[in-house]
Amino acid sequence: MKFDPELIIFDHDGVLVDSEILAMEHLASISTAHGVPTSIPEAFDLYLGSSFDYVVEYLRTNGAVVDRDEVHDAFHTSLFEDFRTRLQEIPGTSELLQTLRDNDQLISIASSGSRERVTLGITTTGANQYFKDSIITTAEDAKRGKPFPDLFLITAERAGIDPRNCLVIEDSPFGIEAASHAGMSSIGLAYRTPAEKLSAADLVVRTPKEVLLALGY
């Protein structure tokens, strides 16, 4: 399958940067500390691609007493410390982004994470050099996170591109669902996510190199 999009919209966590394993370590710890025992694999199943408010609501639904702001701040403080010392790009991401830039492909980012998180992630790994003039849409820009389509639709609107001419690169079922609701094509990147969980995507790949092949490079 080949794609020829006017705009490629990248998710951040798990697509541009290998942050999901770090985030799930912390979310599993937070869940367990609040009386909802959760392993790291279970955290992947429960929380991958979701907003932090979804995590809080899940914990409350399961009987936990959660001070949303306190837990949010503690989570991000510890996660960002790990970002600064442990975060790396998904292998092959720099080559992918360089090729797209060399071919004047319009790219953007749409993430359920905070702007601070996305900025730190792409700055730490050096991906920010490819997004200097790009539209970056984050949790602060939309009332609803994925699986709702708002983040993707806002990104397309800001870019002046018809959603039907956008391609989303995602690593989570929530993200693939959001792309579908937005009327956009999608590629599921199964780097840490099991491929079968991304089966609703138009194409599932395991590496950024395969994304390039799907784009005809």
Mean pLDDT per 10-residue interval, the chain, length 217 residues: 94 95 95 96 89 92 95 93 95 98 98 94 97 95 94 98 98 96 98 95 98 96
The CATH number assigned to the domain with range 7-18+88-214 reads 3.40.50.1000
Alpha-carbon span 131 to 136, nearest angstrom: 8
Domain definitions of the chain by residue range:
7-18+88-214, 20-86
First-residue to last-residue Cα distance in the chain: 13
Architecture in CATH for domain 20-86: Orthogonal Bundle (1.10)
Alpha-carbon span 28 to 47, nearest angstrom: 9
Q: Strands (DSSP E) along the chain, which ranges? A: 7-10, 106-110, 136-137, 166-170, 185-189, 203-205
Q: How many residues does the chain have?
A: 217
Q: What is the CA radius of gyration of the chain?
A: 17
Indicate the DSSP class of residue 89: B
> What is the side-by-side strand order in the sheet with 185-189?
136-137, 106-110, 7-10, 166-170, 185-189, 203-205
